[in-house]
């Protein structure tokens, strides 16, 4: 039986492949779009059984072609550029494509675990998987929320596992190909390596300079949660937050990196006017639903997560 992972050459997808390999599993069908050939780096030390182009898999789903011997589908393939404002492109990749994968999994009764995002909560301080907490502030976040809403409408009719995971601020190995969309942990690390200065925003939304706070979750933990639901012997349905449940400030991230590197300092730069009202100054996962679903493993605290990253 094969795991099918979309976005397999991406940040989270490749960590899923590597985690499975570490568990002795190589029966993996990797699905991705490889126009950016540098993404091969994320899979260079991994073992897979087959590769399917993202567009070809879309056709397989649209035509309900069976691939046979699929254990579970973990759908991470998406447009993850939070600054992309082309709504048609975003909805095609993050909504319509995901909808076809959902229908395909439902037809063949396959567990379907997909990537949502904590960005759906917008600037709100309460991150609970409920409509009253959801208010996206960019097109990326809306595309993710739109699919979550679609799932909520259609989940009851499905006999298979259908699980959406709202990732918070994921960081860790294999994110170098993400460029400007890399985590704050990665960006600050490379800033310190290159120039010795970690650049943080001045205060905004009532937070002091560098005091904006995010829930930073290591990608190893994200992969473990994905596989927890993909491997469940009983049917599970729902949308769940994936974070540590504890917000940490950008100052703390920078200070931990400086300590680990043994050098560097923090520089505060003006908060961009174009981000006013469109920036999450605070995120913290409410893990009540995730814990109720049976996931009881501890999450790596930021200190240990950064040590793992190094």
- List the beta strands (DSSP E) in the chain: 2-6, 28-32, 50-53, 70-75, 112-117, 162-167, 169-171, 197-201, 213-214, 216-218, 237-242, 248-249, 265-269
pLDDT at residue 265, rounded to an integer: 97
pLDDT tens-digit readout, 94-125? 999 999 999 999 999 999 999 999 999 999 99
Q: Domain residues of the chain, as ranges? A: 2-168+218-244+285-299
pLDDT for position 276: 80
| Cβ atoms 295, 225 nearer than 8 A | yes
pLDDT reported for residue 84: 84
**Which residues participate in catalysis according to the annotation?**
140, 178
pLDDT band with cut points at 50, 70 and 90 for residue 180: confident
Tens-place pLDDT, residues 204-241: 889 999 999 999 999 999 999 999 999 999 999 999 99
Mean pLDDT over each residue of the chain, to the nearest integer: 95
CA distance 177 to 100: 27
Q: 133-160: per-residue pLDDT in tens?
A: 999 999 999 999 999 999 999 999 999 9
Q: Inform me whether the pLDDT recorded for 245 exceeds 90.
A: yes
Using the Cα atoms of residue 190, residue 196, residue 202 and residue 204 in order, give the sign of their dihedral: positive
User: Mean per-residue pLDDT for 233-260?
Assistant: 97
Q: Looking at residue 83, what is its pLDDT?
A: 79
* pLDDT above 90: residue 14: yes
d(CA 216, CA 244): 7
Looking at domain 2-168+218-244+285-299, its CATH superfamily turns out to be: NAD(P)-binding Rossmann-like Domain (3.40.50.720)
Averaged pLDDT, 181-186: 92
Q: Percent of the chain beyond pLDDT 90? A: 90
| 6 vs 13: CA distance, rounded Å | 7
Predicted TM-score (pTM) of the model is 0.95
pLDDT of res. 82: 80
Question: Which residues are bridge partners to 282 per DSSP?
Answer: 213
């Amino acid at each position: 039986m094969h795991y099918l992972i979309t976005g397999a050459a991406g940040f989270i997808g490749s960590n899923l492949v590597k985690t499975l390999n570490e568990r002795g599993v190589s029966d993996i069908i990797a699905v991705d779009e490889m126009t950016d050939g540098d993404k091969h780096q994320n899979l260079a030390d991994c073992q897979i059984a087959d590769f399917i182009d993202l567009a070809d898999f879309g056709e397989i789903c649209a035509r309900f072609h069976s691939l046979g011997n699929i254990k579970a589908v973990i759908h991470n393939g998406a447009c993850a550029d939070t600054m992309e404002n082309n709504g048609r492109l975003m909805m095609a990749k993050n909504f319509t494509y995901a909808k076809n994968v959902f229908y395909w999994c439902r037809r063949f009764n396959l567990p379907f675990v997909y990537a949502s995002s904590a960005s759906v909560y917008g600037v709100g301080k309460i991150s609970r998987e409920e409509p009253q907490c959801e208010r996206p502030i960019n097109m990326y976040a809306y595309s993710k929320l739109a699919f979550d809403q679609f799932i909520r409408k259609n989940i009851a009719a499905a006999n298979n596992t259908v699980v959406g995971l709202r990732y918070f601020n994921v960081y860790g190995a294999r994110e170098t190909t993400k460029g400007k969309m890399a985590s704050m942990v990665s960006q600050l690390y490379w800033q310190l390596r290159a120039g010795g200065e970690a650049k943080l925003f001045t205060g905004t939304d009532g937070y002091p300079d560098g005091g904006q706070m995010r829930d930073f979750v290591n990608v190893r933990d994200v992969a473990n949660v994905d596989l927890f639901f993909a491997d469940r012997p009983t049917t599970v349905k729902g949308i769940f937050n994936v974070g540590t449940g504890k917000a940490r400030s950008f100052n703390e991230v920078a200070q931990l990196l400086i300590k680990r590197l043994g050098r560097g300092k923090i520089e505060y730069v003006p908060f961009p006017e174009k981000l006013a009202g469109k920036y999450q100054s605070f995120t913290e996962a409410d893990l009540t639903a995730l814990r109720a679903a049976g996931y009881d493993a501890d999450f790596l605290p930021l200190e240990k997560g950064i040590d793992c990253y190094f």
